Amino acid sequence: MPKVKANNITMNYDQQGTGEPLILIPYLAADHACYAFQVAEYAKHFTCISLDLRGTGETDQVEGVYSTELLADDIAAFMQAAGIRKAHISGLSLGAATGLWLAAKYPDKVQSLSLHSAWPKTDHFQRTVIAGFQVMAKGLGNVAEMVILGIFPLAAFIQQSNAVIAHDVSAQLGRITAPTQITFGRTDQLTSTRFADQMKGSISSSELLIFEGCAHAPIYEKVEEFNQKTLQFLKRHTGAGSTRHAGVV
């Protein structure tokens, strides 16, 4: 697994496929492998770069406060270090929240933006749910025993989930210029369609897609449909500007 030093941490990632770079940002407590069902198809058309965010997988876990803006800064620094001038950006949940910050703060780096189960600002319902996750994780002493398959350090889970609780990119949405696909599962309650109008109305070049019969993770609930419809969007926006410097691994 290749690694890159970026923003004062060592970031781990997986790379598969050929074509324009597509960076896949994981959700809360997940590592790069969470997109295995998507990479199998996406890599036929794109160079898929699946990251481990700080605190997950083999990327460094460091002390301090995590925020979705900081995670976006990490990815921008990763792109610079890896020689990726511009890329398609895709994320689910925490990954989508991070993608919002990346596209708003570094618009020149984003060729297209795919936001799955995203939200602009954490509301009271989300804070209550995530705080409940934290209580359970602390009580059990291991996130794996709660909801995650695999080993994930408790401290890192608390840091990442605190980033979810504090997330607020609502004032920055108008700065996003990349073509954007916004998707939700129809029955998702955590990041429900209650956020759709604000994001669709604030991101100028955006389109909305609802996956019927899905909740928070259409990437697993309806793999074939999810891959087909998201690939259609990505392929429509290949071409101008999505390039890598020579020598990128």
List the CATH code of the domain at 3-236.
Answer: 3.40.50.1820
pLDDT at residue 13 is higher than 50: yes
Percent of the chain with pLDDT over 70: 90
Tell me the backbone φ, ψ of residue 127, rounded to 5 degrees. -60, -40
Which regions of 39-141 does DSSP assign to beta strands (E)?
A: 47-51, 87-92, 110-116
Per residue in 170-206, pLDDT (tens digit) is 999 999 999 999 999 999 999 999 999 999 999 999 9
Tell me the backbone φ, ψ of residue 162, rounded to 5 degrees. -65, -35
pLDDT, average across residues 122-133: 92
pLDDT, average across residues 127-132: 91
Which regions of 129-246 does DSSP assign to beta strands (E)?
A: 180-185, 206-211
Per residue in 36-82, pLDDT (tens digit) is 999 999 999 999 999 999 999 999 999 999 999 999 999 999 999 99
Domain regions of the chain by residue span? 3-236
Reading the block at residue 50, the tokens are 């699946």
pLDDT at residue 145 is higher than 80: no
| 140 closest CA partner among 148, 65, 55, 57 | 148
- Beta pairing partners, 6: 9
Tell me the backbone φ, ψ of residue 184, rounded to 5 degrees. -140, 155
pLDDT band (50, 70, 90) for residue 141: low
pLDDT for res 55: 92
Poorest-confidence range of 95-109, 138-152, 226-240? 138-152
* 112 and 128 Cβ atoms separated by less than 8 Å: no
Which regions of the chain does DSSP assign to beta strands (E)?
A: 3-6, 9-16, 21-25, 47-51, 87-92, 110-116, 180-185, 206-211
